[in-house]
Amino acid sequence: MSGIELLQIWIMAFLTLALLSFLYKDNPAYKLAEHIFAGLSAGYYVGLIWDTVIVQQLWEPLIAGKVLLIIPGVLGILMFGRFSQQYSWISRVSLAFVMGTTSGIFLVTQLHGLVLAQMRSTMRSMAGADGFADLMLSLVIVIGVIATLIYFYFSKEHKGILGGTAKVGVWFIMIAFGAHFGYTVMGRVSLLIGRVQFLIQDWIGSFNQII
């Protein structure tokens, strides 16, 4: 292990312990680590965007002769109008372009790729069931989808059959929340495991390099 690698490990260990120290109470070490993270992230992000977007996808092709790139370049510059109260309206031209293209792309892709595909899958789940158990599971999915959608139907008061179905929908939503909560616990614990693994294996493991 080189000296630089050793230094990296010790910096990582200090920042990890500084951030975990917040669990006891707020303190200057935690604040320092938090500010380093915010500053480094912002600096890194600006540098990365400058290099990968402005230089590689705008400036270099532009000087190579792709003159049409002037249009997105100018639209990008117009966004800076937001820094001036007098000229902030200029940025609306670029924003209108961004909103138009984004909604155009998203409308088609989300509908085609997510909504229709999931609807098709739900409708077909019973027809394609493999055996009795699979059919029952498919039935649960179909009932769950319909009951949950009815719960989110607010144009009629939830009474009678509608109210009963909405209550079934609430049960499905609660079960889904439970599954999400269980997975969230697992996810958060995994992050702690990752840090502890680093501290024990890499940081404490590096002690023998120093001694």
Partner 1 sequence: MQQMDRRWVYLMVGISVIIPFLLPMTLPVSITPEARMLYDFVEALPDSSTVMLVFDYYPSTIAECEPMTIAAMHHFFRKDCRVITLSNIPLGGPTMAEAVTRAIAEEYGKVYGVDFVNLGYKANYVAVLSGMGQSIESIFPTDNSGTPLSQLPLMHSVVNYEQIAFIFEVADNATADYWVSIVNAGYGVPMGCGTTAVSAPKYYAFVDAGQFVGLLGGMKGAAEYEQLINRQGDAMVGMGAQSLVHLLIIALVIIGNLGFFVGGIGKRRRIG
Residue 82 CB partners (closer than 8 Å, separation 6+): 88, 91
**Does position 118 bind partner 1 by CB under 8 A?**
yes
Contact status: 45 vs partner 1 (CB under 8 A): yes
- CB-based contacts of 19, cutoff 8 Å, min separation 6: 30, 33, 34
Q: Does 103 sit near partner 1 (CB under 8 A)?
A: no
Query: Can you tell me which of 27, 103, 121, 209 binds partner 1, judged by CB under 8 A?
Result: 121
The reply to whether 201 sits near partner 1 by the rule CB under 8 A is yes
DSSP string, 24-79: T---HHHHHHHHHHHHHHHHHHHHHHIIIIIIIIIIHHHHTT-GGGHHHHHHHHHG
Q: By CB under 8 A, is residue 1 in contact with partner 1?
A: no
Please say whether the dihedral angle defined by the alpha carbons of residues 8, 12, 15 and 17, taken in this order, is positive or negative: negative
The least distance separating partner 1 from the CB of residue 179, rounded to whole angstroms, comes to 5
Among 36, 149, 174, 193, binds partner 1 (CB under 8 A): 193
Query: Which one of residues 63, 191, 210, 211 is an interface residue with partner 1 (CB under 8 A)?
Result: 191
Q: Which of 181, 149, 193 is closest to 168 using CA atoms?
A: 149
- Binding segment toward partner 1, per CB under 8 A, in 27-35, 81-89, 108-116, 160-168: 108-116
Closest separation between CB of residue 118 and partner 1, Å? 6
**Measured in whole angstroms, how far is the alpha carbon of residue 63 from the centre of its chain?**
36
Verify binding: residue 99, partner 1, rule CB under 8 A. Answer: no
Minimum distance between the CB of residue 24 and partner 1, rounded to whole angstroms? 6
Amino acid residing at 52: T
Question: What would you report as the CA-atom Rg of the chain, rounded to the nearest whole angstrom?
Answer: 27
Residues that bind partner 1 (CB under 8 A): 23-24, 41, 44-45, 48-49, 52-53, 56-57, 60-61, 102, 105-106, 109-110, 112-114, 117-118, 120-121, 125, 141, 176, 179-180, 183-187, 189-197, 200-201
